[in-house]
Structure 1
Amino acid sequence: MSAPAAPPPDAPSASPLVWRDDGLPQSALYGDVYFSSADGLAETRAVFLAGCGLPAAWRGRDRFVIGELGFGTGLNIAALLDLWRREKTPQSKQGGQRLHVFSIEAHPITRDEAARALAVWPELGEAAQVLLDHWPGRARGFHRIDLPGFDATFDLAVMDVEDALAAWDGAADAWFLDGFSPALNPAMWREAVLAAVAARSAPGARAATFTVAGAVRRGLAAAGFQVDKRPGFGRKKERLEAVAPGVATAPPRPRRLAVVGGGIAGAAMARAARAEGLAVTVFDDDQAPASGNPAALVTPALDAGGGPRAALPAQAFARAVALYAQLPQAVIARGVLKLPVGPRDGERHAAVAAQDLFEPGAMALPDPEAVAARLGEPAAGPALDMVDALVVEPARVIEAWRGSAIAARVARLARENGVWRLFDPDDRLLAEAEAVVLAGGADLARLWPAAPIRPVRGQATWTDRPAPAPAAFGAYAVPTRDGVLFGATHDRGDVATEAREADDRRNLQTLAKGLPGLAARLADAPLRGRAAVRATTADHLPLAGAVPGAPDGLFVLGGLGGRGFCLAPLLAEHLTARILALPSPLPRPLSDLLEPSRFPSRAAPGAV
């Protein structure tokens, strides 16, 4: 079984489980076991896999979505993955099947606790191991998890069950209803919860559970499911199977995607779309140079007040760090110090460190001596150590994710018979695709004249002198492969990209305000500058969604400002989900922040 919908008022902050004398994990919050003492794996296979008609239910489907209440030790998902890899349709030139799993867990256990629980069933082998190797974190929110080798994607919602169901935008083809016993955790089985399950179900979806409690039967029936009792497992005489009204369908999905823009937005888009089986063509005319510096920071925008505007960058940051871990050759440095720039920054740093939006220990408050040792000089006040933050080499990230790109300028788009056609400046056909993503940064307005983009010129400066630990202080100073990069200027409305000596001097003056010792050491160093134009929006939030007013199949990923390497990886996965009508890795309150339609349309999309 799994974790409850919400903890009692006196719930402990330590592990949600204890180990019984017989070796079984038991909930410390509700006193119920996580799985059957007879044979948890056999129970999972009988109650949930067979109860949902698997594997027959996914045959003939290119995508299959499973929802679960709740995740617990991961046993159900490990058993599902084992069955999926053995029984799914093999990969082919047309692409194979993909599995999408969404699970909810209010009180996640650690990876080591899960490993101990799952060790009882060595026959789960690689299915259990891939789950343990990519065990999700404990921060509040959604966690997107890769499961390499299984053609599967896993999203875990660490939050209350009703909040999670309201936030998820997917439609499950099958449900594992695996909360703790209704007698011990009635909150998980409320009629409102079961109605929310029904609202997140595809036509013909099947649901299975171990319990036959009357409240559960009535709740499922009231939600529209046809409910039937079936022979139970072990000492339980009966269990439930339920079927939602309607007939399962497999809607047609795009097969080809064209991405206009070759910077980090385009590269992240190519990676995310290819992972879902799309054939991707990237067009890069080298007009999006904001990703071209020798180093880039991967840090979240911090908001001490919490809420969606704090949760979005926190969740994007966690996903970016996980994906860059798969590209160790691109990582220059780990750990970034956030230095104070105002008298109240110490309080703000403490508030951020206390937030549950980040993993435990990911935001730390180091003592002044430790900060001074890392910087080579004292800080002006209390610093925040962003332990998981990174400095990456943009060129290596883009090379790994984007792949080869067509060096051509897309001058015009036209939609004909359900297909987008892309033309060059001489009106020659470049490509055809069912979907197009505009990811050209500040160049977005060329193909989408109504794009709500504000250009901001930024010049960064670097030299080959040794660098201290990465630091941010309104500006930043970070190591490159052979020196230090610092800056950057911020000039609204300026779209010129030539490097200016005056801006290098401005950057040095700004550096002196945050790291005066480093600035003094660089005073006589030869400096090199590079300018680019960032794309921002009026509310300083990105754009990730359908282009308003355009024909179907035209999307945008942009407005990332100076945080493209933090935001783009997860936002590209979100946009891929939108393109393919799949569950987003973002909760609704966060994805709503990204909708391009939030800005009033100033004009019809002229070129499209």
Structure 2
Amino acid sequence: MEPLAPAHLSWDGDHPWAVDYEDVYYGSEDPQGEVRTVFIDASRLPQRFATTARFALGETGFGTGLNFCLTLATWRECASRDAFLSYLSAEAHPLAPADLARSLRAQGIATGDIETLLAQYPPPLSGMHRIHFPADRVVLTLVYGDAAPALARVQGRVDAWFLDGFAPSRNPALWNLAVFRQLARLSSTGTTLSTFTAAGQVRRDLAEVGFVVQKQPGFSGKRERTTGVFSDAQPTAPAADRIAVVGAGIAGLSTALALRERALRVTLFDHQGVAAQASGNPAALLTPHLSAGDSGRNALALSGMRATQALLEATGATDWGSIVLAHGVEHRGITRHAARRLAHLAASDPGRSGDLFTVLSDGADLPTLFYPGALGIDLGRYCRQLGAGLELRQHAVLSVQSGGDGVTVHADHGPEAFDAVVIATGAGATALAAGQPLPGLVGGQMTRIRTPLAALGNHALTGRGYCLPERDGQHWLGATYRRDRGSAGVRDADNDANIRNLGWVDRALEDPSSVEISDAWYGARAVFRDRLPMVGAMPGPPQGLGHPQMRIFLNLGYGSRGLLYAPLAAQVLADRICGLPEPLPDTLAQRFSPTRFDPAERQDG
């Protein structure tokens, strides 16, 4: 992630002017009329929206967001209630939030849409940032950075393009073969494009990459504009309709919801029910995992935090009380390893991680960071809320077998055919993902205490172990980290260990024998050696696109970071299965790849 220079504006009334490009954001006195004529109507969006289950729209030049907001309004008017829209937009110089709001308010955009946009508006850092409009089944993915290299990192397919940068003579970096080749790569046969310009070189370059272009009458005094259709054949994955998700923890539930949002029929399998294993944790932390020397991991953390916060907001779980136990997490460098890591972070620029942290103390003896967006969550209760509206089969899945046009799930009640299967069974993946790299198992125990802790406010503390407030004046302490597979279940020794490890929180915890223990919880977590999950098609021999092997997907191995990564990985998988633009650059998605431990792939990478 690299900081971006924001757009430098001047104003003519309510019309913004790009100082650096010496050009206007709105090309006429009727900006909304121009957007509808040049982009929405030229792309036949009302008709196409009315007949689609999923639609992907791409744009070069997000600007003030007016194109998106008017497209969103058209989607609401024309699309069916269960259809899904993915809107991808590239921007090298994003507007400051205040400028964005001023521009959209001047155009009469609904206050609610502006507020939703601003509430999730990303920091000005290069990369991909997703904004959710869950009530409309719409996601906006902002691709920040120079268009050609940024779009080269996008995976997925686009059905229609809006080309809406500044004039080609003012902004040649957005109107060239390097950019147009990326548009072609992301297009399928029949993908349309529309733009206000009719510049000859633009039309010739678009034709060179495979678009059949035509001149159209211009809008409001402009003589001509351009439309086009992509003609080169591109292979596409077979359409999917019925998906099975095996495993009803946070990974499986997030995946099932993301697939259902994309108008797919989803069946969830878990013979033990929802959150019966590690996702039943009554006191989990959502915190970013940051590194002063690994900007890629920080980008994953930023995307993960944003995805989980969006899911919490969409499902109404952000209020205090039954699900959210703490807002904000204070991280102290209690251990030697944590002290070194936090000291390096404290010396770095918080803005380069999207301001995921602030520095409370940079002292070498006890560096302390605060994560303002972090949360303490009753994960088990939240998972049960997520699963309430899903179709759950409490049957044991014995095996999955690909062949023909789909995958057969062999469960204890008999076989059932699906178009694709996602294995999200965490610690129980051994039988279903035979022959694949499997995670190690690590046991963890939480301890609930009734002892008052004066030093703890409304946020959680972490350092050596973690502590967060709970209902009725109680607190959760945790968690142990057992590598011995044969020691499942709650142990008194682990309760004592949790209390001793958290002695730095409050003097009331210095003597374990004086602490009133009211409950305990144990769960086994699946973890890979790099502490990242496996997300993607099950590895196997190289196969062509659409081969049955590509219909079995893995989503497992989260360890203690399910809240941070599972909702993000669910978006990645759901988009990949549907062939939609994904929320992560390919270089970051590769960090989740099930083949990342393969020596040949590491050498190629």
DSSP-derived class of the 1:496 partner? coil
Give the structure 1 partner of residue 554 of structure 2: 556
Cα deviation for residue 168 of structure 1 reads 0.8
Contact 1:61 1:250 in 2 (8 A): no
Give the structure 2 partner of residue 587 of structure 1: 585
Cα deviation for residue 465 of structure 1 reads 2.6
Cα deviation for residue 570 of structure 1 reads 1.0
Contact 2:28 2:220 in 1 (8 A): no
Contact 1:52 1:206 in 2 (8 A): yes
RMSD: 2.9
After superposition, residues 256-335 of structure 1 pair within 5 angstroms as 256-286=242-272, 288-325=276-313, 326-329=316-319, 330-335=323-328
Contact 2:269 2:396 in 1 (8 A): yes
Which of these residues, 331, 339, 352, is aligned with residue 332 of structure 2?
Answer: 339
Which of these residues, 481, 485, 499, is aligned with residue 494 of structure 1?
Answer: 485
Give the structure 2 partner of residue 385 of structure 1: 370
Q: Residues 346 and 248 (structure 1 numbering): CA distance in 2 closer, same or farther, change over 3 Å?
A: closer
DSSP-derived class of the 1:212 partner? coil
- The reply on whether 1:406 has 2:396 as its aligned counterpart is no
Give the structure-1-normalised TM-score: 0.86
Cα deviation for residue 380 of structure 1 reads 5.2
DSSP-derived class of the 2:227 partner? strand
Which of these residues, 223, 230, 244, is aligned with residue 230 of structure 2?
Answer: 244
Which range moves more in the overlay, 42-51 or 239-248?
A: 239-248
Q: Distance in 2 between matches of 1:356 and 1:40?
A: 35
Percent same amino acid among aligned pairs?
35
Q: Residues 75 and 521 (structure 1 numbering): CA distance in 2 closer, same or farther, change over 3 Å?
A: farther
- The reply on whether 1:22 has 2:20 as its aligned counterpart is no
Give the structure 2 partner of residue 418 of structure 1: 405
Give the structure 2 partner of residue 444 of structure 1: 429
Q: Distance in 2 between matches of 1:477 and 1:454?
A: 25
Superposed CA offset, 1:504-545 (max 9, x none):
222223223x53636327651123432221101133221111
Contact 1:205 1:248 in 2 (8 A): no
Which of these residues, 33, 36, 52, is aligned with residue 27 of structure 2?
Answer: 36
Cα deviation for residue 496 of structure 1 reads 2.9
Aligned partner letter, 2:189:
P
Cα deviation for residue 444 of structure 1 reads 0.7
Cα deviation for residue 503 of structure 1 reads 1.7
DSSP-derived class of the 1:168 partner? coil
DSSP-derived class of the 2:327 partner? strand
Contact 1:456 1:495 in 2 (8 A): no
- The reply on whether 1:227 has 2:213 as its aligned counterpart is yes
Give the structure 2 partner of residue 356 of structure 1: 352
Which of these residues, 341, 359, 363, is aligned with residue 365 of structure 1?
Answer: 359
Give the structure 2 partner of residue 532 of structure 1: 523
Which of these residues, 153, 174, 178, is aligned with residue 192 of structure 1?
Answer: 178
DSSP-derived class of the 2:302 partner? helix
Which of these residues, 397, 414, 419, is aligned with residue 382 of structure 2?
Answer: 397
Give the structure 2 partner of residue 371 of structure 1: none
Cα deviation for residue 74 of structure 1 reads 0.8
Q: Distance in 2 between matches of 1:355 and 1:131?
A: 22
Q: Give unpaired runs (5+ residues) of structure 1.
A: 1-5, 369-377, 602-608
Contact 1:457 1:533 in 2 (8 A): yes
Cα deviation for residue 560 of structure 1 reads 0.5
Aligned partner letter, 1:335:
G
Contact 1:459 1:489 in 2 (8 A): yes
Cα deviation for residue 81 of structure 1 reads 1.6
Contact 2:25 2:64 in 1 (8 A): yes
Superposed CA offset, 1:434-468 (max 9, x none):
22211111111122223421111222222123451
Superposed CA offset, 1:283-309 (max 9, x none):
223395112222110012111113323
Q: Residues 283 and 214 (structure 1 numbering): CA distance in 2 closer, same or farther, change over 3 Å?
A: same
Give the structure 2 partner of residue 504 of structure 1: 495
Aligned partner letter, 2:560:
G
Q: Residues 245 and 127 (structure 1 numbering): CA distance in 2 closer, same or farther, change over 3 Å?
A: farther
Q: Distance in 2 between matches of 1:438 and 1:109?
A: 41
Give the structure 2 partner of residue 477 of structure 1: 467
DSSP-derived class of the 2:20 partner? coil
Q: Distance in 2 between matches of 1:69 and 1:299?
A: 33
Cα deviation for residue 85 of structure 1 reads 2.3
Cα deviation for residue 190 of structure 1 reads 2.8
Q: Residues 254 and 217 (structure 1 numbering): CA distance in 2 closer, same or farther, change over 3 Å?
A: closer
Q: Residues 431 and 107 (structure 1 numbering): CA distance in 2 closer, same or farther, change over 3 Å?
A: same
After superposition, residues 44-59 of structure 1 pair within 5 angstroms as 44-58=35-49
Give the structure 2 partner of residue 457 of structure 1: 443
Cα deviation for residue 595 of structure 1 reads 1.6
Which range moves more in the overlay, 498-507 or 144-153?
A: 144-153
DSSP-derived class of the 1:504 partner? helix
Q: Residues 81 and 346 (structure 1 numbering): CA distance in 2 closer, same or farther, change over 3 Å?
A: closer
Q: Distance in 2 between matches of 1:278 and 1:597?
A: 27
Superposed CA offset, 1:287-334 (max 9, x none):
951122221100121111133233212211121122223312521111
Superposed CA offset, 1:58-103 (max 9, x none):
5643322110011111100111122222233x34xxxx53221101
Q: Residues 317 and 362 (structure 1 numbering): CA distance in 2 closer, same or farther, change over 3 Å?
A: same
Superposed CA offset, 1:333-366 (max 9, x none):
11111111335345322255534332xx442112
Q: Residues 223 and 432 (structure 1 numbering): CA distance in 2 closer, same or farther, change over 3 Å?
A: closer
Superposed CA offset, 1:264-299 (max 9, x none):
112212221221122222222339511222211001
DSSP-derived class of the 2:431 partner? helix
Q: Residues 166 and 474 (structure 1 numbering): CA distance in 2 closer, same or farther, change over 3 Å?
A: farther
DSSP-derived class of the 1:55 partner? helix
Contact 1:115 1:132 in 2 (8 A): no
Aligned partner letter, 1:331:
V
Q: Distance in 1 between matches of 2:246 and 2:394?
A: 11
Contact 1:462 1:529 in 2 (8 A): yes
DSSP-derived class of the 2:566 partner? helix
Superposed CA offset, 1:102-136 (max 9, x none):
011222224443232122333x5489557536552
Cα deviation for residue 591 of structure 1 reads 1.1
DSSP-derived class of the 1:478 partner? strand
Give the structure 1 partner of residue 543 of structure 2: none
Which of these residues, 160, 163, 183, is aligned with residue 149 of structure 2?
Answer: 163
Superposed CA offset, 1:234-262 (max 9, x none):
23222222222147999753222222212
Give the structure 2 partner of residue 103 of structure 1: 89
DSSP-derived class of the 2:353 partner? coil
